[in-house]
Amino acid sequence: MTKTKENMSYELKTIKEKITKFNTAIKEVKENIAQDQSLIKSETAKLESMKATSVTAKLQDVNKGKIDVEISAQVGKITEIEARITKNEATEIEYKGKVAQLTERRKEIKYKLEVKVLEAKEAESAVLESIKTVTDVELLNRKRWIASKSVGNYQKCKKFMAEYKMIFEKQNQVLKAEQADHQRRIDIADGAMTALKEKKTLLKDAKKSKELEANLAKIDEDMARHAKVA
């Protein structure tokens, strides 16, 4: 009994230290998530500003290739932050799950320790009827504990699935938004190429001159740039 108590006390001490470390880690992860969420708002605002600048550049027929590259880089930066947030959220869920498991284990050890103490006391009394009564109560308590643990595990699974579903839907929205943005850029490039082709057709029968050759070269250059974007 003494040896068992020492072993269980040592395990309880170890569990306490692990829970403290996980809670500290959870706090740090939450702080990182909050910082990234604040950062992503500012980076999204920058992206919207870049998109507005891109539209203005198109209307003014200004070479906006550099802006498109900056927009692409900004989208990548936002995606990287989103991925970091998702990873930290998953880490938080994982750590919370481990804390919950350790808490359950601590309850189990304390319960076993109480049972062991009770069993030792009853063994010393050597009263068969009392031992029988305590054993019946112990079995009932064990059944109740198993039932409550099963219900608790089921509720935890439901909670985790809801959190994972939320993360999945959030990332799905990000991917759809990125796909829509890519399609918008393709449509803009295709429209520009169509307009340039019509312009080139109109200039085909014009009188040859250096100015005409320069215009045709500029049209070919713009078509190549839009084709690259598409």
- SS3 labels along 89-102: HHHHHHHHHHHHHH
> Which of 218, 212, 219, 215 shows the shortest CA–CA distance to 193?
219
- Most confidently modeled of 86-100, 159-173, 194-208? 86-100
pLDDT at 203: 76
The confidence band for 225, taking pLDDT boundaries of 50, 70 and 90, is: confident
* Cα–Cα distances in angstroms (integers) from residue 92 to residues 24, 120, 161, 164, 213, in the given order: 11, 42, 14, 12, 63
Q: What does the alpha-carbon distance between residue 130 and residue 138 come to, in Å, rounded to a whole number?
A: 12
Question: Which residues, including other chains, have CB under 8 Å from residue 117's CB and lie 6 or more apart?
Answer: 1, 5
> Which of 83, 140, 97 shows the shortest CA–CA distance to 115?
140
Average pLDDT, the chain: 81
pLDDT at 12: 84
**Helix runs in 60-127, H state only:** 65-125
Look at residue 128 and tell me whether its pLDDT is greater than 70.
no
* Range(s) of the domain holding residue 36: 2-229
Q: Which two tokens stand for residue 109?
A: 């050890």
The confidence band for 2, taking pLDDT boundaries of 50, 70 and 90, is: low
Count of Cβ atoms closer than 10 Å to residue 1 Cβ: 11
pLDDT digit string, tens, across residues 10-46: 888 888 889 899 899 999 999 998 998 888 888 888 8
* Strand, coil or helix: 61: coil
DSSP state at residue 64: -
The confidence band for 90, taking pLDDT boundaries of 50, 70 and 90, is: very high
Question: Which residues, including other chains, have CB under 8 Å from residue 64's CB and lie 6 or more apart?
Answer: 53, 54, 57, 58
**Among all chains, which residue has been given the structure tokens 């250096």?**
210
pLDDT digit string, tens, across residues 143-176: 887 877 777 777 777 877 877 888 888 888 888 8
**Among all chains, which residue has been given the structure tokens 């990000």?**
174
Q: What does the alpha-carbon distance between residue 192 and residue 62 come to, in Å, rounded to a whole number?
A: 12
Number of domains in the chain: 1
